[in-house]
Amino acid sequence: MKTTTPLPSLERAQHAVAAARELLAAWMTPVCRGHVYPMHIRRGTSRYLYYTWERCIRGRRIQRTIRVDQAERITAGIRAMAGLQARLDAYYDACETLALVECMTPAAADEKKRTPSRRGKTRAGTQLKKPPRQS
């Protein structure tokens, strides 16, 4: 059995959208997309560690070889992207809730009833007629 959660009041929904918008505006951390993979290479008896950064740009997979210090910064940027995505999801959810609340309020229902339909009418209120087809 699916239970529905009650909608908040209009003021609370507006406050939630404003708070989520402020969290997004306060984001200052640089972000990165993609994945970082460790790779090992052997040259003779020595073994070297390097990383590849793989990301998708315009439907194409791009891979770059990066150093260890770059990998740390890019990995931090990828983690930051997950945090930014969570804030974006919270903002979208708050906007959807606000839209539902605005649609469910009695004032919005009265507004919809009062707005006349203008489909197929001109300014004078007469019905539009199609011009005759010419062969």
Distance of CA 62 to the CA centre of its chain: 23
Tokens of 44: 């003779």
Residue pointed to by tokens 């505006």? 25
* Helical (H) or strand (E) element with 61: strand 60-66
Phi, psi of 128 (to 5 degrees): -75, 140
Phi, psi of 35 (to 5 degrees): -140, 150
pTM over 0.75: no
| Model pLDDT, residue 52 | 93
| Model pLDDT, residue 130 | 60
Residues in the chain predicted with pLDDT less than 50, given as ranges, are none
Tokens of 51: 């990383």
Measured distance between the N- and C-terminal CA atoms of the chain, rounded to whole angstroms: 62
- For the chain, give the longest Cα–Cα distance: 90
| Model pLDDT, residue 54 | 92
The strand pairing partners of 39, in sequence order, are 50
